[in-house]
Chain A
Amino acid sequence: MTPSTTPDAPIMSVKDLEVAYRTGKGTNVRALRGVTFDLYPESALALVGESGCGKTTLGSALLRLLPTLGEITGGTITYRRADGRELDVTRMRAGELRRWRWSEAAMVFQGAQNAFNPVLTIGAQMADTLIDHSERRPSKKEILERSSEALRSVRLEPRRVLRSYPHELSGGMKQRTLIAMALLLRPRLLVLDEPTTALDILTQRTVIDLLAELRVEHRFAMIFISHDLALAAELADRVITMYAGKVIETGTTADIFYGPKHPYTSKLINAVPPVVGDLPELASIPGAPPSLATLPQGCTFAPRCELATDACRAAEPELIELVPRPEDRGHAAACLHHDQVHHERKVIARA
C-alpha cells in the first residue's frame, strides 16, 4: 500500500554500532564492536551465539533499553517509518523515543514471567499501553475491542485473561499475553529476546508456531534472539552469528546451516541436535568465550580454533563477502580460512 514496503528500503539499518558497559571508574567493557546490518520489511533475522556474545545487548540497544551502566558509544540505528521518514534511534529525545517504542518497535523479553506489573490486571495493563499511545483517550469499548483482538490472535480467551492478574496465568499464557501486548499497537518491528527459554518443550512449540503464523498475518519484521539454533532455523530467513560482541558470519538460513564458512558457526551447529532427521554426533566447543575485558589479539575465536594460524592472531579479520546478494542477504564470514571450513555432521543414528 505504501511505497515503503518496496523491498529496497530497509526498515532498520544498524551501522557500526558500539555499546560499552561501565565496569568501574573510567573502565569500560566493549559489549558490541561495530555491528552492522540491514533489516528489510517483513523479513526475519535470527541472532545466534553463546551466552555473553552480545545478543541481548544488541536487542536492547535497538530500542535504547540498555541498563543504566550500558551506553551506545558509537554508530547509528536508523529506523524508517511507513511514510518513508527516517529516524535516528540513537539521537531521539525522551518524548519521541517513548512514542516510538512499542507503536513502531516492540520487544518480547526473555523473562516474560515478570514482564507484567503484579498488582494490575492484564486488562488494565493493555489499557495503559493504548492510552499512553493515543492522542485522545480511547473509549472503554475501543480498549476492550483492541485488547480482545490482540489476545484472540494469540489463541487466548480475552474474557478470562483480561480480568486476570499476572500470577493467575501460567508461564506459557504469560508469554503469549506478552506477545499479544506487543502486537497491540501493530508495530512494524518485533524484537524477540529468547522468547521461549523459560518454557517447557511443548509450550515452546506452541509459541514458535504462533510466532510463525503471526508473522504471516501481521507482516512485521522480526529480530529473533536465541541460543537455540533449531528454533532460529525454523523462524528466520536470515541468520547472524555473533562472537565476542562482533558479527562473525551472516547469511541466509540455508547458507548458515548447510554451508557455514566460519569455524565457530560450524561448531555451534554441531553442538546442538537438529529438529528433524538423523541424530548426528554432538560435539562441544572446547574452551570458553573470551572475557570482553581482555580480548585476545587478532581473531577473538583463534584460541579455540584448530584452523588458527599466526595471521589469525596478528589482526582481527573483517567480514569477507563470499556470496553477494541484494537486500543484505549475502553470505559473509569473518574468517581468513573460510575456504578450509568444511561443514559436516557425523550421523550416529538414523531417524
Chain B
Amino acid sequence: MSTDVSSPHASPPATSAAPARRGSLLHRIANSFVLRRLVRSAFVIWVVATGVFLLVRLLPGNPVDVYINQQISLYGKTYDQAAAEAQVYFRFDPSASIFEQYGGYLLGLLRGDLGTSITTPGVTVTEKIAQYLPWTLYSVGLALIISISIGLLLGMIMAYRRGGIIDNLVTVIGSTFHAIPNYLLAILIVVVGAVQLGVIDYARMRGNISPGLEPELSLRFLSDIGYHATLPMLTYILTTAGTWALIMKSSTTQVLGEDYVTVAKARGLKDVRIQSDYVGRNALLPLIAQIATQAGFVVGGAIFVEQTFSYEGVGLLLFESINTRDYPTIQGVLLVVTITVVLANLAADLVNAALDPRIRLGAGGAA
C-alpha cells in the first residue's frame, strides 16, 4: 500500500507531486511554484502595459494636438510656435512611429519612468502618483482591513448561530448596503447627514487634511487625517462589510458540515481550536482570492467617492487627468492599478499555497 517512498531526500510535499521528476537543479527551479507565479505576474503586467499604451493611442486626438489646439485657440499662437512649445513640454514626438513610441515607453517603464504630466508641465507622472497614492492607500486600505475584519467575524458568528438575531439583522442590513453603489451612499451621506440633518460638518471634513497642516509624525496630524478620512472610510466599510459577512457565513456554514469538524468534536478538541484551526482556516481559504481582487479596488475603485468628498487620492487624480486629457497620467495610474491587482493576486496565490497544501501540489502537477 505504501509504495512511493522512492526519493527519501526530497521534501515531503514534493514526494508524491511529480512522479517523473528528473531531479536536476534546473528542472526543480523551472518547476518551482513561486517562480512560475512570478513569471506569470510579470507577463500579465507587460500585457496590460501594452494594452493601455495602445488604447490610449486609439483615443481620438493625441495629447500634443490637444495642447497645440489649446494654445492656438487660447493665446492666438501660430501652429509652428505652439508645436515648438509642445516639443519642449512633451518628451514624446507625435510624428515618431508607434513602434518607436512603444519602445521608448517600455524602456522608460523598465527604468521606472512613467513620463511627464501634460497639465502640470515639469511634474513627472511618478511624482504625481507618489503625491496622491498614499492617501488612497491609507483611506481605502484601512477601510478594507476594518471591513474584512468585521465581516469575517460577523460571518462566523452568523454561521454558528444560524437563524439568530445577528444572522437575520446582518443579512438584511448587509444585502441592503451591498445593493447601494458606494458613490450613491457617499452622496446620501452628504445630502442627508450634512445638508438635511446637519450632523456632519461637511465643509470641514472634506479634503484629506486641514489647510495649513504639514505631514509630520504627531498626534495632531494623525487625528486630523483620521478625521478627514472618516466619511470615505465609512462609505467603503458600510458598502462592503455586510458582503464579507455573507460570503464568510456561507463558507463557514459549508465547513461546519464537513466530517472533519464532527470528528474534531468527537476527538474532544477545545472549542477555540476547532473554531480557528478547523473551521476558520478552512472557511477562509476560498475567500483569499476574493480579498486579493478587492485590493485592486484600493487603488482603482475609489474614483467617485473621492470626488464626492474631495478626497485627494489616486481616484481623484485619474478622474481629473481624464477630464483634462492628461494621457501619460491616465496611463501611469492604470498601470499602478494593474500592478496592485497583479501583486495582490500573487500574494493571494502564495498565501493560499502556504495555507492549503492541496493547492501547492495541484499547481505543481497540473502544468
Contacts and interface: CB of A to CB of B under 8 A. Distances in A.
B2 interface: yes
B277 to A, nearest CB: 7
A115 B263 contact: yes
Task: With a 10 A CB-CB cut-off, give which of B5, B267, B269, B281 has the most chain A CB atoms.
Answer: B267
Contacts of B16: 168
A178 B262 CA distance: 13
Given A106-B266, A107-B266, 7 more contacts: A98-B270, A100-B268, A117-B260, A119-B356, A129-B267, A132-B270, A203-B1
Interface residues of A, number: 38
Contacts of B269: 98, 128-129, 132
Nearest to A115: B263
Task: With a 10 A CB-CB cut-off, give which of A63, A115, A156, A181 has the most chain B CB atoms.
Answer: A115
Contacts of B358: 118, 165, 167
Contact of A117 (B13, B266, B278): B278
Nearest to A118: B358
A118 B12 contact: no
16 contacts: A106-B267, A107-B266, A109-B266, A115-B259, A115-B263, A116-B263, A117-B264, A119-B357, A129-B269, A132-B270, A165-B357, A168-B13, A168-B15, A170-B1, A172-B1, A173-B2
A152 interface: no
A119 B259 CA distance: 14
Interface string A39-72: 0000000000000000000000001010000000
B267 A156 contact: no
A103 B266 CA distance: 10
Interface in B272-289: 273, 277-278, 281-282, 285
A160 B4 CA distance: 10
A168 B277 CA distance: 20
A98 B1 contact: no
Task: With a 10 A CB-CB cut-off, give which of A99, A103, A167 has the most chain B CB atoms.
Answer: A167
B contact residues, range: 20 to 34
A114 interface: yes
Given A117-B278, A119-B357, A164 B266 contact: no
A100 B16 CA distance: 38
Contacts of A178: 263
B258 interface: yes
A274 interface: no
A118 B356 contact: yes
B265 interface: yes
A160 B2 contact: yes
Task: With a 10 A CB-CB cut-off, give which of B5, B266, B285 has the most chain A CB atoms.
Answer: B266
Contacts of A113: 259
A254 interface: no
Contact of B273 (A132, A167, A172, A173): A132
A133 B268 contact: yes
A285 interface: no
A119 B282 contact: yes
A283 interface: no
B355 interface: yes
Contacts of B267: 101-102, 106, 128-129, 132, 181
Contacts of A165: 13, 357-358
B12 A63 contact: no
Nearest to B285: A119
Contact of B259 (A103, A109, A181): A109
Nearest to A166: B260
A106 B268 CA distance: 9
Closest 4 CB pairs of A and B: A114-B259, A101-B268, A102-B268, A165-B357
Interface string A156-190: 11001001110110101100001001000000000
Task: With a 10 A CB-CB cut-off, give which of B2, B13, B273, B278 has the most chain A CB atoms.
Answer: B2
A143 B236 CA distance: 47
A107 B358 CA distance: 27
Contacts of A103: 268
A111 interface: yes
A111 B277 contact: no
A128 B266 contact: no
A39 B214 CA distance: 79
A128 B267 CA distance: 9
Contacts of A163: 12
Contacts of A160: 2, 5
Interface string B1-40: 1100100000011011000000000000000000000000
